[in-house]
Amino acid sequence: MSESALDQHECDYRARQLRLGTWIGVGCILIAAVHVQLERYGGPWLVALMVLGGAGQAALAALPWQRYAEARWLPPVMVAWWLANLALLLAFAAYDAAALAVYPAGVTLILVSTAALATERHVIGMGAISIAGYVGLVVAGDRPVTGTLAALCVALMLGVTWFSARTASNRRRLDAARRTAERKVGALLENSSDAVVAIQLDRGVTYASPSVRTVLGYDPAFLTGDLLLDITHPDYLPTGMEWWLAVAEGGPGHTARVESRIRRADGTWVWVEIIGTNRMGEEPLNAAVVSIRDITERKELEEELTRQAFADSLTGMPNRALFRDRLEHAIARNRRGGGRITLLLVDLDDFKLVNDSLGHTAGDQLIATTALRLHQQLRAADTLARLGGDEFAILVEDVTEIEAMDLAERLLAAIRRPLRLGNREVVCSASIGVATAKAGDGDGGPDPGELLRNADLAMYAAKGAGRDRYTLFDPAMYAGILREAEDRAELERALADEQFVIHYQPIVDLPTSRLIGVEALVRWQHPARGLLGPDTFIPLAESTGLIVPLGAWVLRQACEQLARWREEFPDAAAIRVNVNLSPRQFQHEGLVEEVSGILAETGADPHQIVLEITESLLMQDTDSTISTLGRLKALGVRLAIDDFGTGYSSLSYLKRFPVDILKIDRSFVDGITAEGGDATLAEAVVQLGRALQLQTVAEGIETAEQWSTLQDLGCELGQGYLFAKPGAAEAISSILGGDRF
Ligand code: C2E
Ligand code: CA
Ligand code: CA
């Protein structure tokens, strides 16, 4: 039984006893008064005395004796009362038997009342004295009526005494149970990790448990009135008030919970969980019961976990998850306010290059510096987050499109400023996609995911348009994406259906124009659009990664073709086949295994295979590139640098790579004979090849003049429309068969 239930039970019980006793007493007095009146004994004054005596008894019984039930002086008072009653009894008996009939009423009243107030010992004591009085009267027996009445009274008193004594003992048991429960609750409250206080609507804190001292450090007696408010952190007052209203107005039994910060007695702030239950209608508490628990430890753990989950470890700024959250909130706010949200997605250009060539530390440094520079351009209310890698997102509210564009310009300018990475000074740029949403765009406002996607599309458009710029999102961009997805699917199908063919372009020995090899150049035999050149699909194959299976297919075809030629033309068995490798294929882990597998399966002689790689590949990720190139070389294949001269490779750079052949880019060959052009550049490239002891192949020779100039410069090999355009394998077969170009 809970404490309050016990209280309630006992209060009810005492009230019932007192009422019962009072009514029995009053009833008996009335009966006796009528009796005396009918028998015409005595006079009106006697009736008045009896009524007064009875009323006095009733009044005494109705007094709130329970308050003094434990008081020391209760037994003496009781004894005095019994003696007074005994005197009264004897006085009445001496006067008349009728008066004696009244007396049991008073005694019954007192006994029943006493049972409610005192112990069974008191009841039995009083009953015994009364019974003794009556027994005395019976024994005295000078008047028969009085004697008979007294005997009846003895029987009545015995019954009433027995009943009242039992009631008193019941009550005592109840008292004992209550005290035990109280002690238990007290101990619980003292040792509990919850501080418990009772708060009344008008008086504030009316009770504070002993554990207030352990939990909050305050003396429980000190925590009165509005003190709970006074020790609440100002930031949490509004939620605190909200909580209190919820408890107070929630009605009986309503419970509400809140987390808040409270100042301990020692001045430190602690996190607390406060749970309040409305017991305001319930006497005698009439208050809200509030338990306060220190949850600082849990809260700190929670915060740490949240920080880890929501912050980017490198820059300490919000990460994608938190940004998403903020974006959702901003959208919700704007749905009400009707404002405008602008999202800027910033992506560094060529970050991978920095990371690969200067190392990860430099990459991290670049990210951190970029974060700082972006941050400097923003207002306090704007949100900057790192979404991952070299991608940042910025959320600004309530700016016009012009202002957003202005901000994008400033961000670009900030990133463009040179910065030191290690002992190098580098200049970086970024591409920015800008997307905005107004409240009311679409039903229920814009969708955060969509807004991010829009900004992403705009950012890619900025990259596509040449980087180092920003682009505003335009719904037409979706059409581009859609087309790309379709193209990709089409390309995949083409690969599965083998819609590709390979054309071969001869590579000749310049002095003799003898065919020494061919370059394999892929074409797409498109079912609807006809034969497509590589420029129309290689970029897409690169960006989608489909270049990996496509490149493998080309290599396999070329190797198989080589085997066929070797069989058909034993004289020309030494010709070589050049196959282009795209940078993306180098990122593919299994490249070397794939090449060696194809060589083994087709039986091609590795020495007849030349793999053409681009200069830009050499600029990337040097260590792993060198190792891959080394492993390819170890297979026996030769390596050529394609489009040489268009990149930035320096002499020292080139020396580090195990290449065999330089293919001089067409632009140099063009330059040789162009109007006012000069041969120095081409000459330099040829000489560089010589210095490095590499074979040189001039690409794109279209005129006899170019041919002879290149020979004069000392270039060994050449390739171009002058000799032959790329053509089907049969065209090469006929050359090998003895036909001239
Ligand atoms: P590339 O490797 O530089 O190939 C030479 C390109 O120059 C070929 O274009 C060829 O047709 C063209 N060409 C040859 N002689 C002349 C000439 O005298 N004048 C002019 N104006 N052009 C000449 P094509 O076949 O359109 O190939 C374009 C590019 O596509 C290639 O450039 C190569 O980078 C790429 N490519 C072709 N096939 C493959 C392949 O199987 N894999 C990879 N990864 N890339 C390939
Ligand atoms: Ca090539
Ligand atoms: Ca080339």
Residue-by-residue DSSP string for 125-172: HHHHHHHHHHHHHHHH-SSHHHHHHHHHHHHHHHHHHHHHHHHHHHHH
Which atom in ligand 1 lies closest to the alpha carbon of residue 721? Answer: 18
Cα angle, residue 343 at apex, residues 340 and 347 outer, rounded to 5°: 165
Report residue 155 as tokens.
Answer: 């029987």
557: Cβ below 6 Å to ligand 1? no
Q: Is 706's C-beta closer than 6 angstroms to any atom of ligand 1?
A: no
Provide the percentage of residues in the chain whose pLDDT is more than 70. Answer: 76
Say how many Å lie between the CA of residue 580 and the centre of ligand 1.
Answer: 9
Nearest residue (CA) to ligand 1, atom 38? 521
Whether 452 has a pLDDT exceeding 80, the answer reads yes
- Residues facing residue 297 across a β-bridge: none
Using most ligand atoms within 8 A of CB, pick from 557, 580, 701 the residue to mutate for ligand 1. 580
Among 46-50, 251-255, 617-621, top mean pLDDT goes to: 251-255
Task: pLDDT band for 36, please (50, 70, 90 cuts).
Answer: low
Token pair 């008979």 is found at 148
Which residue's C-alpha comes closest to atom 17 of ligand 1? 700
Is the C-alpha dihedral spanning 267, 273, 277, 283 positive or negative?
Answer: negative
CB atoms within 10 A of CB 616: 15
305, 307, 313, 315: CA torsion to nearest 10: 180
**Cα 499 to ligand 3 centre (Å):** 24
Protein residue closest via CA to atom 25 of ligand 1: 521
What is the distance in A from the centroid of ligand 1 to the CA of 521? 6
Element (H or E) spanning 434, and its range?
strand 430-438
Q: Is 554 in the pocket of ligand 1 (CB under 6 A)?
A: yes
Residue 659 CA: distances (Å) to CA of 124, 590, 605, 616, 719: 121, 21, 18, 14, 19
Peptide bond into 284 cis (omega under 30): yes
How do residues 185-197 score in pLDDT, each as one tens digit?
Answer: 777 666 677 888 8
Residue whose pair of structure tokens reads 């790329």 in the numeric block? 726
- Helix axis angle, 360-376 relative to 401-416, nearest 10°? 140
Which secondary-structure segment (H or E) carries 587?
Answer: helix 583-587
| CA 377/CA 301 separation, integer angstroms | 34
For the beta carbon of residue 708, count every other beta carbon within 10 angstroms.
13
Lowest mean pLDDT among 38-42, 111-115, 161-165, 470-474: 38-42
Exposure string over 579-590, b if 16+ CB within 10 A, otherwise e: bbbbbbbbebee
More confident residue, 739 or 563: 563
pLDDT at 707: 95
C-beta atoms surrounding 332 within 10 Å: 14
Q: Is the pLDDT of residue 334 over 90?
A: no
Q: Which of 459, 332, 447, 330 is nearest to 393 (CA)?
A: 459
The per-residue pLDDT for 156 is 73
702 lines ligand 1 (CB under 6 A): yes
pLDDT value of position 386: 93
CA distance 536 to 490: 13
HSE of 199, CA atoms in CB hemisphere, 13 A:
23
Whole-number pLDDT of residue 1: 38
What is the predicted pLDDT for the residue at 17? 59
Averaged pLDDT, 361-381: 92
- For residue 577 and ligand 1, the question of a CB distance below 6 A is answered with no
pLDDT at 244 over 50: yes
For ligand 2, the distance from its centroid to the CA atom of residue 158, given in whole angstroms, is: 126
Confirm or reject: Cβ of 726 under 6 Å from ligand 1: yes
Would the pLDDT of 221 be above 90? no
| CATH architecture for the domain at 491-736 | Alpha-Beta Barrel (3.20)
Q: Is the CB of 645 under 6 A from ligand 1?
A: no
Angle at the Cα of 374 from the Cα atoms of 370 and 380, rounded to 5 degrees: 145
Atom of ligand 1 nearest to the CA of 719: 15
Distance 668 CA to ligand 3 centre (A): 11
Residue 528 Cα distances to 479, 485, 499, 544, angstroms = 21, 18, 11, 22
Residue 696 has a pLDDT of 94
For ligand 1, atom 34, name the residue with the nearest CA: 580
pLDDT value at residue 6: 46
pLDDT at 3: 43
Task: Determine the Cα–Cα distance for residues 523 and 534; give it in Å rounded to an integer.
Answer: 6
Atom of ligand 1 nearest to the CA of 522: 38
CB of 294 sitting under 6 A from ligand 1: no
Nearest residue to 30 (alpha-carbon basis) of 6, 8, 58? 58
User: Which sign, positive or negative, has the C-alpha torsion 31, 37, 40, 45?
Assistant: positive
CATH number corresponding to 191-300: 3.30.450.20
- The string of pLDDT tens digits covering residues 297-318 is 888 877 777 777 777 778 888 8
Tokens of 576: 């070589």
Query: For atom 13 of ligand 1, which residue has the closest CA?
Result: 700
Residue 125: CB within 6 Å of ligand 1? no
The pLDDT value given to residue 5: 46
CB 522 within 8 A of CB 550: yes
Q: For position 699, what pLDDT does the model report?
A: 96
Edge to edge, what strands does the sheet with 287-294 contain? 204-208, 194-200, 287-294, 269-279, 255-263
Q: How far apart are CA 197 and CA 276, in angstroms?
A: 9
In ligand 1, which atom is closest to the CA atom of 612?
2
pLDDT tens sequence across 134-144: 677 667 656 66
Mutational pocket test of ligand 1: of 518, 521, 613, the residue with most ligand atoms within 8 Å of the beta carbon: 521
Least confident range of 211-225, 434-448, 610-624: 434-448
> 267 or 678: which carries more pLDDT confidence?
267
Q: What integer pLDDT is reported at residue 629 of this predicted model?
A: 93
Q: How far apart are CA 623 and CA 634, in angstroms?
A: 17
Q: Is 721 near ligand 1, meaning CB less than 6 Å away?
A: yes
In the predicted model, what is the mean pLDDT of residues 111-137?
A: 68
551 lines ligand 1 (CB under 6 A): yes
Give the mean model confidence (pLDDT) for residues 27-50: 58
Q: How far is the CA of 703 from the centre of ligand 3 (A)?
A: 17
* Mean pLDDT along residues 229-253: 88
Give yes or no for residue 33 having a pLDDT over 70: no
Is the pLDDT score of 103 beyond 90? Answer: no
User: Does residue 605 contact residue 517 with C-beta atoms inside 8 Å?
Assistant: no
Return the top range by mean pLDDT from 41-45, 72-76, 302-306, 329-333.
329-333
How high does pLDDT run on average in the chain?
82
Residue 34 pLDDT class (50, 70, 90 cuts): low
- Name which residue sits closest to atom 19 of ligand 1, judged by CA: 700
Q: For ligand 1, say whether the CB of 582 is within 6 Å of any of its atoms.
A: yes
Report the nearest atom of ligand 1 relative to the CA of 702: 18
**pLDDT value at 175 more than 50:** yes
Stretch 166-193: mean pLDDT, rounded? 75
DSSP annotation of 546 reads T
Residue 614 CA to ligand 1 center (angstroms) comes to 12
Q: Is 697 in the pocket of ligand 1 (CB under 6 A)?
A: no
**Angle, helices 97-117/44-62, rounded to nearest 10 degrees:** 10
Closest CA to 307 of 321, 290, 327, 289: 321
Distance 670 CA to ligand 1 centre (A): 16
The response to whether residue 700 sits with its C-beta less than 6 Å from ligand 1 reads yes
Indicate whether residue 613 lines ligand 1 (CB < 6 A): no
Half-sphere exposure at residue 145, Cβ-oriented, CA atoms within 13 angstroms: 9
Ligand 1 geometric centre to CA of 601 (Å): 27
Mean pLDDT value of segment 482-497: 91
The alpha carbon of 558 is separated from its chain's Cα centroid by a whole number of angstroms, namely 54
Nearest residue by C-alpha to atom 15 in ligand 1: 720
Higher pLDDT, 108 or 263: 263
561 CB near ligand 1 (under 6 Å): no
pLDDT exceeds 90 at position 636: yes
| Least reliable range by pLDDT among 60-74, 160-174, 283-297 | 60-74
Atom 4 of ligand 1, residue of closest alpha carbon: 521
pLDDT at residue 505, rounded to an integer: 98
Of the pLDDT bands very low, low, confident and very high (cuts 50, 70, 90), residue 732 is very high
**Closest residue by CA, ligand 1 atom 41:** 522
Whether 541 has a pLDDT exceeding 80, the answer reads yes
Instruction: Choose one of 508, 536, 538 to mutate for the ligand 1 pocket test, by most ligand atoms within 8 angstroms of C-beta.
Output: 538
Is the pLDDT at 403 greater than 90, yes or no? yes
Pairing label, strands 383-388, 391-397: antiparallel
Q: 287 near 252, Cβ under 8 Å?
A: no
pLDDT at 45 over 70: no
Q: Look at ligand 1, atom 20, and give the residue with the nearest C-alpha.
A: 700
Domain boundaries, the chain: 3-185, 191-300, 311-473, 491-736
pLDDT of residue 355: 83
Q: For residues 324 and 450, what is the distance between their CA atoms, to the nearest angstrom?
A: 11
From the options 1.10.3720.10, 3.30.70.270, 3.40.50.720, 3.90.1010.10, give the CATH code of 311-473: 3.30.70.270
Torsion of CA 714, 716, 722, 725, to 10 degrees: -150
Q: How far apart are the first and last CA of the chain?
A: 111
Inform me whether the pLDDT recorded for 513 exceeds 50: yes
- Asked if pLDDT for residue 27 goes beyond 80, the answer is no
Tell me, using a 6 A CB cutoff, whether residue 228 lines ligand 1: no
Q: Which of 605, 457, 440, 584 minimizes the C-alpha distance to 517?
A: 605
CA dihedral for 560, 563, 567, 571, sign (positive or negative) = positive
Alpha-carbon distance 156 to 141, whole Å? 19
Q: Given the CA of residue 503, which atom of ligand 1 is nearest to it? A: 25
CA 570 to ligand 1 centroid distance, Å: 28
Atom 10 in ligand 1: which residue has the minimum CA distance? Answer: 726
Higher local confidence (pLDDT), 92 or 618? 618
263/182: higher pLDDT:
263
642 lines ligand 1 (CB under 6 A): yes
Higher pLDDT, 646 or 147: 646
The stretch 689-706 carries a mean pLDDT of 92
- pLDDT score at 406: 96
Give the ranges where 338-475 is alpha helix by DSSP (H).
Answer: 351-358, 360-376, 401-416, 448-464
Higher pLDDT, 165 or 404: 404
Pairing label, strands 469-472, 430-438: parallel
User: Which range is least confidently modeled, 307-311, 414-418, 527-531?
Assistant: 307-311
How far, in Å, CA of 286 to CA of 299, rounded?
33
pLDDT value at residue 502:
98
Q: Which ligand is nearest to the CA of 663?
A: 3
Which residue's CA lies nearest to atom 11 of ligand 1?
726
Of the candidates 99, 103, 109, 111, the residue with the CA atom closest to the CA atom of residue 19 = 109
What pLDDT digit, counting tens, does each position of 655-679 carry?
788 899 999 999 889 888 766 566 7
CA 92 to chain centre: 88
Question: Measured from the CB, is residue 538 less than 6 Å from ligand 1?
Answer: yes
Q: Are 488 and 546 in contact (CB under 8 A)?
A: yes
> What residue type is 293 in one-letter code?
R
At 711, the amino acid letter reads Q
- Tell me how far the alpha carbon of residue 665 lies from the centroid of ligand 3, in angstroms: 6
pLDDT in tens, 571-599: 888 999 999 999 889 888 899 999 999 99
Among 482, 319, 326, 333, which residue's Cα sits nearest to residue 395?
326
Protein residue whose Cα sits closest to atom 12 of ligand 1: 700
pLDDT at 101 over 80: no
Tell how far the Cα of 252 is from the centroid of ligand 2, in angstroms. Answer: 86
Closest Cα to atom 42 of ligand 1: 580
Share of the chain above pLDDT 90, in %: 39
